[in-house]
A and B are shown apart, each in its own frame.
Chain A
Amino acid sequence: MSAESVYTIVDDLGALLLFTMILILAAGQIYRAIYAVAAQSLLIAIAGGVLATATGNVDLWVIAGVTLGVKAIVLPWVLLWVVRRMNVRREVEPVIPVAATLTLAVMVVVMSFHVSASLGSVRHAITGNALPVGIALTLLGVLVMATRKTALHQMVGLFASENGIFFTAMAVTQGMPLIIEIGVILDVILAALVMAIMVLRVRSTVDADIASLDRLRG
């Protein structure tokens, strides 16, 4: 694959990633947001495969495989399992209207590209537009967590944020060292499990969603 075509593919995947992010931001029902974040992880895995072919780096194949298995299949499955256990099907009420959230999201994306454009030599270090897309995904994940109060939405936002980081990390010249990526993914799994347990525990002990716990102030 020529360097130019890799740039094009990475840029196209970046655009699709931003599109899935908008789906997450606009999702009214939690399971749609979970499907969107699973699709996003799938795109990350494809990006890993493309970069692995282009650079001949075997580690990236492993990372792409682990991303596919863990972030596109297992974690969304765990989230959907928790949704069924909690029997939440109701609409989530965002803190601010979805239209306002999407306007903010556009501003974040424009700003990310603006910041990256101000860096001269970044194209040597990071392939294509992976840096601005990564920054945008990370910040938009935080936006999801800030505007949606339910525990599951916050977890989805967190996974989306981490997808952004992984996308940028894969596009760095040769990807990150394999052992570090594996360690990071392990941490993500553990954190997700602890969070899922907490969500269910709050359900069973105080019969409330975590979002309705707001006594600790001042």
Chain B
Amino acid sequence: MAETLLWVLPLVPTVAALAMLTTGDRRILSAIDVGSSAVLVALTLLLAREVEAGGPRSLGVFRVDDLGLVFLLLLVVLTLAVSIYTVGWLRQAVAVGNMKAESLRSYFALVHAFVATMVVTVLADNLGVLWIAMEGTTITSAVLVGYHGHRHGLEAAWKYIIVTTIGISFGLFGTVLVYAAAADVMGGAGTMSWSAIMEVAPTLDPGIVRIGFIFVMIGYGTKAGLAPMHLWLPDAHSQAPTPVSALLSGVLIKCALLAIIRFQTIAAAACGPAFAEEVLLVFGLISVVVATPFILAQRDLKRLLGYHSVEHVGIVVLGLGFGGAVGTYGALLHVVNHGITKALAFFAAGTAIARYGSRDMRAIRGLFAVAPIGATFLMLAALSLAGVPPFSIFVSELLVLRGGIGHAHWVAIAIFLVMVVVIFAGLLHHAGAMAFGEPAAAASREPEAWSPLLAMMLLAAIMVLLGLTIPASVDGLLRRATEVVVG
């Protein structure tokens, strides 16, 4: 049963993508969109139950364990939220001419092809398949980033495809080196399967694995948006259509993190945990530090959220770098929390931008007066992103911090704390200015559309719930996932 699900899961969005090519009707397209995403969620929950009862399953090049399940659940929940959001967003975008009604089928088909490639990256056991699917996400999403077809969109799309393609070719080199080390030990043809390499990992040649891990870190780190390879991220995330921004920021960079974690476990077994943790720590700190000034000085709302992703990916990697059960658990929880919160933030920002017709935060004023519900969600997302209790990100940042204290990384903790406090102040300043005050005359006063609000409600509910308490089932899943990483 569970084995069947492994190949059915990537097939669902693929079939949906093909079905979407056959029709041009917006209502039918939206129905297939929401329907296929809902099926994906249902099947994933089924798979989660099977894995909880019977442990990891594998089928050919696919495999699911608790670690992959954390990312898969995030992926399908956000895909569903994005599908619901798209219904209302698209109606508005077509009305104002941002999206052309006749090219909708290719847009929807590309989104689902993008989702399918991401599902494969999460389920891939074979490291080669992982790389191929990761490059697949770049190709499909690059077209989506430039979808609006204007000058800035095309510039962002070009930067995105060039930087990430060259980035992950480093990832392929790293994969080849790890494979070479494994083939050397196993003799004969060797294998690229992660689970098989993990079995022989302690005997791998540490020298080759070390160089391989650095290549992988630069490669998939580019895709994850780690500084200093993050240059494409603020452009792509800000120029893409809003639902795509949410997928890029909420899910795609997390898929790249999963790839890094897979190689981290191999490197930790082959060269001892200290080496991998040191590399992760350095990249995490650079990301958090580099993102800060750009967040403070930012005027473009979606670019602000893009730089915020750089900071939060940095925090996840810091958690992994601090290591130990607490740091890793915190990092994985942060992956989930940031994914949910960032998608919510992009949704709220997207509706605000559509209402004011501008992405400049100085033009967006008095949102509470014209769209009270949307403004509330924007404030909630901003408060959570800033790390205010009782929201979920506060909890995971605290856990990452505790992981650091447990391993006495005092300098890293000091830098981390200073940056988080500065960003806290900067973000609340930006959000407060947008939400309160007198609305600009240019602001549209139309009633708020239901479907974006429903999508935001779904995400906000998860965000608040995870802040107040971590349900036993989620806690159990995260604990087992942590064991996969730490051993």
Contact = CB atoms under 8 A, between A and B. Distances in A.
Contact of A201 (B142, B154, B205, B239): B154
B172 A165 contact: yes
A210 B165 contact: no
A183 interface: yes
A119 interface: yes
A165 B169 contact: yes
A119 B271 CA distance: 14
Contacts of B131: 184
Interface in B132-150: 132, 135-136, 138-139, 142-143, 146, 149-150
Interface string B91-134: 00000000000000000000000000000000000101101100
Nearest to B236: A216
Given A125-B181, A158-B166, A191-B135, A213 B205 contact: no
Given A125-B181, A215-B151, A183 B132 contact: yes
A106 B128 CA distance: 31
Contacts of B207: 118-122
Interface string B185-221: 0001110100000000000010110010000000000
B208 A122 contact: yes
B395 to A, nearest CB: 32
Contacts of B205: 119, 121-122, 125
B136 A187 contact: yes
Contacts, number: 148
A111 B3 CA distance: 47
Interface string A40-68: 00000000000000000000000000000
Interface residues of A, number: 52
A198 B161 contact: yes
A120 B211 CA distance: 13
Interface size class of B (residues with CB under 8 A): 35 or more
Contacts of A83: none
Given A124-B184, A174-B190, A206-B151, A154 B169 contact: no
B183 A172 contact: yes
Contacts of B136: 187, 190
Contacts of B128: 176-177, 179-180, 183-184
A63 B138 CA distance: 24
B235 A191 contact: no
B22 to A, nearest CB: 22
Contacts of A184: 128, 131-132, 135, 172
B155 interface: yes
A120 to B, nearest CB: 7
B165 A158 contact: yes
A129 interface: no
Contact of A154 (B151, B154, B162, B179): B162
A32 B132 CA distance: 30
B180 interface: yes
Nearest to A157: B166
A154 B211 CA distance: 25
A126 B180 contact: yes
B157 interface: yes
B297 interface: yes
A162 B190 contact: no
A16 interface: no
Contacts of A214: 155
Contact of A168 (B176, B188, B189, B298): B176
A138 B157 CA distance: 23
Interface in A183-199: 183-184, 186-187, 190-191, 194-195, 198
A202 B149 contact: no
B158 interface: yes
Contacts of B129: 180, 183
19 contacts: A119-B205, A122-B205, A122-B207, A125-B184, A125-B205, A138-B170, A174-B188, A176-B128, A183-B128, A183-B129, A183-B132, A195-B162, A198-B154, A198-B161, A213-B155, A213-B158, A216-B155, A216-B159, A218-B294
Given A202-B154, A213-B155, A215-B155, 4 more contacts: A141-B166, A157-B166, A173-B180, A195-B161
> 3 closest pairs, A vs B, by CB?
A180-B128, A213-B155, A125-B184
